[in-house]
Amino acid sequence: MIFRITTFLLLLSLIFTLPAQAQPASPAFQDITGSFAEKAILELAQQGIISGINPVEFGPEQSLTRRDFAVLLAKVLGIQPFAPLKPTFSDVPFDAPGAGYVEALAKLGVWHGEGDGRLGADEPVLRQDAAVMLYRALEEQSLSSSLDGRYLDWGQISPYAEAGVVYVTGRGWMRGSDGCFFPLRELTRAEAAMIANQLVIMRKGQALTAIPVVSSRKLELKAGEAMHIAPETALIPLAFTTAYGVDDPSLGALSNDGIITAGKQAASATITVNAGLNSYEVITSVRASQAENKNEGVFAENSQPEKELTTGASYQVEQLAPDLGFQEKEYKSYSGPVEGLTSQGQAWTGFLRQQGREITVDLKTAQVVSSISLEFLQDAASGISLPGFLKAVVSPDGKSWYHLGQVSHNVDPADTVVQTKNLTLSFAPVITRYIKLSFPVNSWVFARHLSVRGGRRVDSPAVLAPAGYAVPSGEGFLNVPDMNNILLVYTGGNGDDGTWKSNDFQPMVAYQDSKWVIRGRLFDTMLFLPYADVPCTRDGWNAYLDDLFKEGAQLSALDEVVGRLNENTAITGKEKVILTIPYPDPKQQDFGALEEGGATLDFSGSVDSGEQAAVSRLKAVRWFYDSLISRWKMAGLNNLELSGIYWYSETIDQTVNGEKELVQGTARLVRGDGLEFFWIPYHGSRGYEDWRSYGFTRVFLQPNFYSVDSPPEERMDRTADLARRYNLGMELECDGNILYNRYYYDLFYRQLNRAKRLGLDQDITLAWYAGSKALVKAAASSSLKVRAVYDDIYSWINGTYAAPAGTVPEESVGAAGGQVETESDGLSRK
């Protein structure tokens, strides 16, 4: 079978038949300017998912063949090539372009062909057939099952395609125009690009949340004992293939379906379980026993012998941050054996600093790969440490890359024991030609014995996350000039808690010690936003504006306080203010009329078309924004500076018609006035990876660590990693529960202490969610422990915070004393 796999994968071309090597690195298509799909086409081309009909033309209005659409769909969804014993379709032989992707979709039941043994590979794909393929690949039962009356040409839709059209319409991936779906019209390349781009966004979110719980766990085994450690992956169609990393393969045997069978000797190792872009560690130990291994038959189905694939292969090493001086020292001192990293000798190759390394292995022909490993050395006395991880991605064509997973370990960099770790990643067989390994290098890293093994039977196509989702931007945390700490201020309801007076604002602008003596600046920026129950109506939004600009409260009170501080203390300068645009709820059918005698706006599409509903939502936003800016200019708030506008919704819901366009339209309003456009999405939401494409200028990520459900211990770490990767700020969180409830009090300090260890008290702008006046109440509290919350936040802000004695250690998260019925501040997070 291997020679057949090699034949058709050597002939795999990029979608739309342009060979990978002919595609320019930076696409310069001359025929897409002004196209509705221009941005999608460029983004997909840069990811290696699509290409043009030639280097300078994309052909946006040309039709797409059924085979080309199959290849496009497989690439976007991460479905890897597959080779059955014989071709599924008579018109797609193994040596046909894209055959491996077509066979993969056929194996998964996505592509059924014409019913006569043919795919109809070179025939144009119809819009209804594209809908059917999407439905078969990604069907979700929760979506509506009927579109009665939605399309004027519903009767033209073939019975087999009705469910597919319902599905793609519900997801917003295909909608047609002028009230028609046009099921029998040929799908254009531009339309296909738009569909693919929306799938990329969806798949990215799924990859980042593929494993719902990623906390590390411990596992103890007896010698010879077998245990199932496969993850509980997210319940999504086309779940991602699991890969298992281990830092000591002698621990035992690990099957592709997640069964670990311990060896007969005492051992300990770290197993890394990967799916999508998620992973977690299983700290595993084996107790020695003389008992006979009764589980030797567990691996019978995966017992085909592996063979070494690096013979005849080549590899290239690249530095992530090249430095010629380090390279010269590295080469002269520890250049390694003549054969290089694939040598089975005992010599090491040394890597010095330069951030990290990427090792790209070219197997020369497509191969079935099932394990990858590289051995590393730790010798702390000599300045040699193990890398924090080894990560692997694969590519069948050298253009589109897919994430396999990573291997971690738990060796302390300061551990003085000289030791080696063979970091090994094993997985269900994948057909590929190129493999890229990457690892960080802080000082010296020594490596040897690079191995790629495979040759096992491929029973089903692997499903992997496109690796572009996991590539760090290298930009680091967001640091807004002259804006360090932003306090969220909720108004527009909730009685006294939502009414801010001057005596509420003063301890938030200026830190006051226990004797009410002002000692320094606290929050330099106030973000005003409405409670979630402010009605989504014209009257409701108007009432919120009236409240916001009410004399003696809210903005007026803040202006008064800042003016008084400027006159009487060393606290000088204007307080920065961020104002919020309420979210136009797409379920709202009766927002109200914007002008006297006008028609009420319908955001739901129940009266107007979905397209008109999107227009109505933007009209409402424009009306509110104009009213907001007009009132701001008339208010005469001379001690305040309007720095930006905040987008209220905490995720970008792509299933809502025109959602992205709504946010982008709002961004144009805001940025057109020279203001910043702010956003604070929640952990696990959608959109923060592509925040620039929506028009945002400043984005902060919520860790949602402060919650009732005992968040995973690594939540702060993961959020910080994402913030670094995508150049985001972060939010730190508490609410009124810290005043009365020991669990939340301890949880807040666990969060703050972990944030300190992560360096979040350094060069990063933070947003602070504190419920309804929780910090105002803490400042006035007669309880020393409650008052300490206010004091410690000031210490944090001025750079002197240290974890207070007696705060709960991170390891005991969720183990605080029992909860009791307590007073609540009445606030629910949006």
Residues 648 and 617 both lie in one domain: yes
Instruction: Please indicate, yes or no, if residue 340 is contained in any of the structural domains.
Output: yes
Other Cβ atoms less than 10 A from the Cβ of 599: the count is 12
Give the tens place of pLDDT for each residue, 695-725: 999 999 998 888 766 666 677 887 898 898 8
Residue with tokens 């690079």: 450
Residue 3 banded pLDDT, cuts 50, 70, 90 = very low
Residues 315 and 221 both lie in one domain: no
Residues 543 and 622 both lie in one domain: yes
Asked whether 616 and 602 are in contact (CB, 8 A), the reply is yes
Sign of the four-CA dihedral 135, 136, 137, 141: positive
Q: Does residue 245 sit in helix, strand or coil?
A: strand
Closest by CA to 449, choosing from 599, 347, 524, is 347
Residues 323 and 441 both lie in one domain: yes
Give kind and range of the element (H or E) at residue 724: helix 715-726
Instruction: Please indicate, yes or no, if residue 148 is contained in any of the structural domains.
Output: no
Give the tens place of pLDDT for each residue, 374-425: 999 999 889 899 998 999 999 998 888 999 999 999 888 778 899 999 999 9
Residues 368 and 265 both lie in one domain: no
Residues 423 and 561 both lie in one domain: no
Closest by CA to 781, choosing from 521, 773, 816, 768, is 773
Instruction: Please indicate, yes or no, if residue 304 is contained in any of the structural domains.
Output: no
User: Cα(95)–Cα(79) distance, rounded to whole angstroms?
Assistant: 19
Closest by CA to 194, choosing from 32, 412, 3, 432, is 32
Query: Which among 469, 503, 538 is the end of a domain?
Result: 469
Q: Does residue 604 sit in helix, strand or coil?
A: coil
Asked whether 52 and 193 are in contact (CB, 8 A), the reply is no
Residues 284 and 317 both lie in one domain: no
User: Cα(49)–Cα(193) distance, rounded to whole angstroms?
Assistant: 10
Residues 697 and 650 both lie in one domain: yes
Give the tens place of pLDDT for each residue, 43-64: 888 877 888 888 888 999 999 9
Q: Which of 48-57, 562-571, 652-661, 676-685 has the lowest mean pLDDT?
A: 652-661
CA angle centred on 276, ends 274 and 279, rounded to 5° = 30
202: left (phi over 0), alpha (psi -120 to 50) or beta: alpha
Instruction: Please indicate, yes or no, if residue 830 is contained in any of the structural domains.
Output: no
Query: Which among 469, 503, 526 is the end of a domain?
Result: 469
Give the tens place of pLDDT for each residue, 477-530: 999 999 999 999 999 999 999 999 999 999 999 999 988 899 999 999 999 999
Residues 579 and 660 both lie in one domain: yes
Read off φ and ψ for residue 426, nearest 5 degrees. -125, 150
Residues 463 and 542 both lie in one domain: no
Tally of CA atoms within 13 A in the half-sphere of 820 that contains its CB: 7
Range(s) of the domain holding residue 276:
217-288
Residues contacting 198, CB < 8 A, separation 6+ = 171, 172, 173, 654
Amino acid at 201: I
Instruction: Please indicate, yes or no, if residue 168 is contained in any of the structural domains.
Output: no
Closest by CA to 463, choosing from 197, 192, 104, is 104
- Per-residue pLDDT for 236 more than 80? no
Instruction: Please indicate, yes or no, if residue 131 is contained in any of the structural domains.
Output: no
Instruction: Please indicate, yes or no, if residue 178 is contained in any of the structural domains.
Output: no
Residue 756 banded pLDDT, cuts 50, 70, 90 = very high
Q: Which of 113-117, 124-128, 313-317 has the lowest mean pLDDT?
A: 113-117
User: Cα(145)–Cα(161) distance, rounded to whole angstroms?
Assistant: 12
Tokens of 415: 């551990």
Tokens of 540: 């409701």
Q: Does residue 260 sit in helix, strand or coil?
A: strand
Residues contacting 340, CB < 8 A, separation 6+ = 315, 349, 450
Instruction: Please indicate, yes or no, if residue 415 is contained in any of the structural domains.
Output: yes
Residues 283 and 323 both lie in one domain: no
Residue 335 sits in a domain of what CATH number?
Answer: 2.60.120.260
Asked whether 350 and 387 are in contact (CB, 8 A), the reply is no
Q: What pLDDT score was predicted for residue 295?
A: 41
Asked whether 487 and 577 are in contact (CB, 8 A), the reply is no
Q: What pLDDT score was predicted for residue 377?
A: 96
Other Cβ atoms less than 10 A from the Cβ of 320: the count is 15
Q: What pLDDT score was predicted for residue 141?
A: 53
Asked whether 106 and 113 are in contact (CB, 8 A), the reply is yes
User: Cα(369)–Cα(372) distance, rounded to whole angstroms?
Assistant: 8
Residues 204 and 225 both lie in one domain: no
Q: What is the pTM of this model?
A: 0.58
